[in-house]
Homo-oligomer: A and B are copies of this chain.
Amino acid sequence: MKVTINDVAKLAGVSMKTVSRVINKEPSVRKKTYDQVMLAVKELNYQPNIAARNLAGTSSFAIGLVYDNPNAYYVIDMQNGVLSRCRDEGYELVIHPCESNSENMAEEFVTMIKRSRLAGLVLTPPLSEQQSIIDMLDELGIHYVRLLSGRAQEAKNSANNCIFVDDYAAAYEITEHLIQLGHKKIAFVLGDEEHKSTTERLAGYRDALKAHDIKQDDTLLYHGTYSFESGVKGAKALLADGNPNQITAILGGNDEVAAGALFAARLMNIEIPGQLSISGFEDSPFSRQTWPKLTTAHQANNIISEHAARLLFSKTRGHRKNDKEVSHVFTPSMVVRESTGRITQ
């Protein structure tokens, strides 16, 4: 009934250990032996027993995905990307939502890692940016890959365990798009201050303005959080009292913020995009579910996270053959929809 490594060994006419070597893609197995074993594996439809591997091996066949993100779409994309890689590799995925500001986060964190003896971790922002976590993991000698906001240049010099999303470039592109539509008073409802994506997007915005000789005006900046509510508040504040700054466009820190800004604009009877252009970031599903649909920057989170997992595996199992090199920088590309346009009124 249940096929074990012994059955395969017998059929292939080799030892148990050699089968183990083959399924773990260890080097130093002769091609002929390898084929023999693989044949037997196929014939018996052998599936290694995870529990046994976990028990016997140095680390378990599971990786963790750690997140502290209220954006469900983002999280699901991350999960699916990592999961698809895990399935291919025969690993399990342990999801670990947590609250980065909670008292016992670090503790829970370590408990989880040790309990499951995870082979590695994929860290998503903002946890990937927390130095204390990185230090802890380094100290514990745990493999991890970080998803970070950062530019291509930075990526080249960085450690080999980071995947970058070039939010700077995305913000630059969107800002330029707005400028080309004739906007000069472009406001920005920023996300959480401590998130690096916020800093990066702000920098991209600033550089785009500078490149087009538009004066920076910090009163056009609203420091908020990555939430719908913050978008509402920010837009209200920026557009208050008859829009003293004559703002004609608002960048939302992400799609949720942009949706919030849209909401606020509606409340104030402002036409979008006739009187005001609004754009988001990330191209999450609900950027297509606002009215009008949001111009945004597409960020393929499932692909990004799959690459993160790929990178993690390549580090985890150093002896493995033929791992393709993975790209470490992803640049979101702008998606122009109906929420941005020229001023018509």
A263 touches B289 (CB 8 A): yes
- Integer count of this chain's copies in the complex: 2
Most B-side CB within 10 Å, residue of A76, A93, A116, A260? A76
Closest to A65 in B: B95
- Which residues between 42 and 76 of chain A lie within 8 Å of chain B, taking CB atoms? 47, 49-52, 54-55, 60, 72-73, 75-76
Is A256 positioned at the interface, with any CB of B under 8 Å from its CB? yes
Interface membership of A266, Cβ < 8 A: yes
Total count of chain A residues near the partner, CB < 8 A:
39
Given A93-B95, A116-B92, A291-B267, CB of A52 within 8 Å of CB of B50: no
Asked, given contacts A52-B55, A60-B51, A291-B266, whether A285 binds B72 with beta carbons under 8 Å apart, the answer is yes
Q: Is the Cβ of A50 less than 8 Å from the Cβ of B115?
A: yes
Q: Is A168 interfacial (CB 8 A cutoff)?
A: no
Residues of B close to A72: CB separation below 8 A: 72-73, 75-76, 285
In the complex, A83 has a CB within 8 A of chain B: yes
A289–B286 contact, CB under 8 A?
A: yes
A144 at the interface (CB under 8 A from B): no
Query: Which B residues lie within 8 Å of A260 (CB)?
Result: 289
Give chain B nearest CB distance to A117 CB in angstroms: 7
Q: What residue of chain B has the Cβ atom nearest to residue A117's Cβ?
A: B51
Q: How far is the CB of A282 from chain B (nearest CB, A)?
A: 13
Confirm or deny: A182 has a beta carbon within 8 angstroms of a beta carbon on chain B. no
Residue A296 CB within 8 A of the other chain: no
Residue A94 CB within 8 A of the other chain: yes
Select which of B51, B54, B83, B256 is within 8 A of A95 by beta carbon. B83
- Closest Cβ of chain B to A251, distance in Å, is 18
**Does any Cβ of B come within 8 Å of A334's Cβ?**
no
Chain B hits for A276, CB < 8 A: none
> A79 at the A/B interface (Cβ < 8 Å)?
yes
Interface 1/0 per residue, A238-269 and B, CB below 8 Å:
00000000000000000010011011001100
Most chain B beta-carbon neighbours within 10 Å: one of A95, A116, A262, A267: A95
CB of A316, distance to nearest CB on chain B (Å): 17
Give the docked Cα–Cα distance between A263 and B266 (Å): 13
- Near B by CB (< 8 A), chain A positions 102-118 give 111, 114-117
Q: Does A97 contact B (CB under 8 A)?
A: yes
The residue of chain B having its C-beta at the shortest distance from the C-beta of A92 within the complex is: B94
Residues on the B chain within 8 Å of A314, using CB: none
Q: Give CA–CA (A226, B114) in the complex, Å.
A: 41
Contacts of A116 in B (CB 8 A): 50, 92
Chain B contacts for A111, CB-based, 8 A: 47
A263 to B337, CA, bound (A): 15
Given A51-B55, A263-B291, A267-B291, 5 more pairs with CB closer than 8 A: A51-B54, A72-B72, A79-B95, A93-B94, A286-B289
Interface residues of chain A, those whose CB is within 8 Å of chain B, are 47, 49-52, 54-55, 60, 72-73, 75-76, 79-80, 83, 92-95, 97, 111, 114-117, 228, 256, 259-260, 262-263, 266-267, 285-286, 288-291
